[in-house]
Structure 1
Amino acid sequence: MAREFERRQPQPPLTLPTLGKVLGNFVEQDEDSKAQEILPTPEKLTTKQRLKEKLKRKFFHRKQIIVEKIVEGLGIFGAPDIRVGGKENLEKALELTKGKNLAFVMNHTSNFDTPALERSLKKIGFGEIVPKLIYLQGIKLDKNPVAKIFLGGFNRIRVWPPNLPAENETEKIERKKMTRESLESAKRALGEGYFLGIYCEGGRSYNGKLKEVEPAAIHYLTMQPDTIVIPVAIRETDKVLPRGSFIIFPAAPVNVNFGEPIIISFLLQEYQNLPNDEKHKKIGDFIMGKIAKQLPEEYRGVYV
């Protein structure tokens, strides 16, 4: 199925120019992002600038190698085992979407959730999806230099978290602008054959249980009515990379399960008479409920 999908939907390699074209200028633009701003062409540089850019590229390449090793789970004490279920649901979703407008919605307990998702895709033969995944990432992570480097190995769209208040008028303007541009970028990415990765709880759960959905995150799923959502349940990552730790521990096998595809247009029709905020809350609760069903009862939290 993975090979059939690759033939059916040929996509260009995820080069910096390709991703920049899809996401415009709103992708993360620093040295710590795979989607950083394209460097000036060599013929336009002075000798000094050329040397500086050469060093920047060398640093970026070396840092990416380190990040990729972390992504592969090469922790100091060994690599955690990844157990994957629901491959048939992923195959069904790819068949329905023909490679476009597909989003992965996951629960969130650890900064290892993203690497776990990508390792699970590779393990079941869908590695071609990985370079096309683009994650929504809250700007709060920029304040943590270690997390910024670690998560800089993934394609990302920076978003203003719904639970982060704007403290002054300038921040209110910036929040509004960032929200508008991130929505536009996500919509464009979906339409161009990239896949969104979204954590809809507004941040990590520190007790391992599901938190209530943040309705604002659902906006990114309803922009394209034909979006298909794969609800992904991830478990035990909080033991592999605990809160506050920078070391990966193979403490327990990580479980990643892909649930049955959810067709957003059906939910929009179901809740069409509700105000937007209430509509998004209902859709979010439905998706989180599907994630909850894939988890043991003690992890279901508010969706028990």
Structure 2
Amino acid sequence: MLMKFLLLLLARWRVTGKENIPARGPLIVVANHLSIVDPPLLSASIPRRIVFMAKEEAFRNPVFGPLARGWRAFPVRRGVIDRGALRHAAQVLTGEQVLGMFPEAMRSATAQMQQGYTGTALIALRSGAQILPVGITGTEEVDGISVVFRHPNITVNIGEPFTPPSIDGRLTKDHLALVTDFIMERIAELLPESYRGYYEDRKGC
């Protein structure tokens, strides 16, 4: 409720595609990542409780750590296969809850999409959960107290849910890379061309 109030007070906040949100069942929400406010923004925009996966370093930060916990996040170690985080994600989806992920694993310094990591693809393929792609614009303008004067236009564009293409046999790095690109392209389709970055010229965009 507080986030909704702040968004309405400090920004021009618009959500499109709410009709695409499944009312029940396990779901993975994936979005591009521009700002620290993206997790609470998604929680305010999607009327289902979202449990977020966030980089481990955020929980050690004296400012961002409490915020991450307040955003119902759990830690994941980047650059390695974090089996504990994978188990936690599986538990969230087994309980038919909503898992929130930013496949880029970090905020974009340029507001353009970066290449996605394969963890989202691995979790999606193992769980069979639907994926809900979301394109976020405008939160890169949220920078401290200056937001009070900027009143940025913030848009949350929610696409249609989908399941990634199935993979026969053993999962390989190449399989995961292909599915990751498939997921990221669905996000890119929801963004203006100037935000697509790495995925601007990819097939499907």
TM norm structure 2: 0.87
Seen in structure 2, the aligned counterparts of structure 1 residues 160 and 108 have a Cα distance that, compared at 3 Å, is: same
- 1:203 Cα shift? 0.8
Tell me, in whole angstroms, the C-alpha distance in 2 between the residues paired with 1:235 and 1:302: 16
Structure with bigger helix share is 1
Tell me, in whole angstroms, the C-alpha distance in 2 between the residues paired with 1:74 and 1:89: 25
Give 2:19's aligned residue. Answer: 88
Unaligned runs of 5+ in 2: 201-205
Tell me, in whole angstroms, the C-alpha distance in 2 between the residues paired with 1:216 and 1:118: 21
Give 1:277's aligned residue. Answer: 173
- 1:151 Cα shift? 2.3
Give 1:143's aligned residue. Answer: 60
Give 1:50's aligned residue. Answer: none
SS in structure 2 opposite 1:260? coil
Seen in structure 2, the aligned counterparts of structure 1 residues 115 and 233 have a Cα distance that, compared at 3 Å, is: same
Seen in structure 2, the aligned counterparts of structure 1 residues 161 and 213 have a Cα distance that, compared at 3 Å, is: same
2:45 pairs with 1:113 = no
- 1:111 Cα shift? 0.5
Seen in structure 2, the aligned counterparts of structure 1 residues 102 and 150 have a Cα distance that, compared at 3 Å, is: same
2:71 pairs with 1:154 = yes
Seen in structure 2, the aligned counterparts of structure 1 residues 185 and 274 have a Cα distance that, compared at 3 Å, is: closer
Give 2:160's aligned residue. Answer: 260
Seen in structure 2, the aligned counterparts of structure 1 residues 246 and 275 have a Cα distance that, compared at 3 Å, is: farther
Asked whether the 8 Å contact 1:104–1:196 carries over to 2, the reply is yes
Asked whether the 8 Å contact 2:17–2:159 carries over to 1, the reply is yes
TM norm structure 1: 0.60
SS in structure 1 opposite 2:70? coil
- 1:235 Cα shift? 0.6
Give 2:184's aligned residue. Answer: 288
- 1:274 Cα shift? 7.5
Structure showing greater Rg:
1
Tell me, in whole angstroms, the C-alpha distance in 2 between the residues paired with 1:107 and 1:74: 21
Tell me, in whole angstroms, the C-alpha distance in 2 between the residues paired with 1:248 and 1:274: 48
What amino acid maps onto 1:89 in structure 2?
A: N
Question: Quick one: which of 117, 120, 131 aligns to 1:214?
Answer: 117
Give 1:134's aligned residue. Answer: 51
Give 1:233's aligned residue. Answer: 135
Between Structure 1 and Structure 2, how many residues are aligned?
A: 199
Seen in structure 2, the aligned counterparts of structure 1 residues 193 and 206 have a Cα distance that, compared at 3 Å, is: same
Asked whether the 8 Å contact 2:40–2:71 carries over to 1, the reply is no
Seen in structure 2, the aligned counterparts of structure 1 residues 141 and 247 have a Cα distance that, compared at 3 Å, is: farther
Question: Quick one: which of 74, 78, 84 aligns to 2:6?
Answer: 74
2:42 pairs with 1:104 = no
Tell me, in whole angstroms, the C-alpha distance in 2 between the residues paired with 1:138 and 1:180: 14
* Structure 1 vs Structure 2 CA RMSD: 2.2
Give 1:4's aligned residue. Answer: none
Give 2:91's aligned residue. Answer: 188
- 1:101 Cα shift? 1.8
Unaligned runs of 5+ in 1: 1-67, 163-174
Tell me, in whole angstroms, the C-alpha distance in 2 between the residues paired with 1:254 and 1:112: 11
1:3-18 equivalent positions in 2, closer than 5 A = none
Once the two structures are superposed, what CA deviation does each residue of 1:238-297 show, in whole Å capped at 9, x if it has no partner?
102x3xx47754531210011111113xx124xx36752111111111111111111111
Seen in structure 2, the aligned counterparts of structure 1 residues 73 and 149 have a Cα distance that, compared at 3 Å, is: farther
Tell me, in whole angstroms, the C-alpha distance in 1 between the residues paired with 2:50 and 2:145: 24
SS in structure 2 opposite 1:74? helix
Tell me, in whole angstroms, the C-alpha distance in 2 between the residues paired with 1:217 and 1:102: 12
Asked whether the 8 Å contact 2:10–2:151 carries over to 1, the reply is no
Seen in structure 2, the aligned counterparts of structure 1 residues 275 and 190 have a Cα distance that, compared at 3 Å, is: closer
Asked whether the 8 Å contact 2:54–2:73 carries over to 1, the reply is yes
* Fraction of identical pairs, as percent: 27
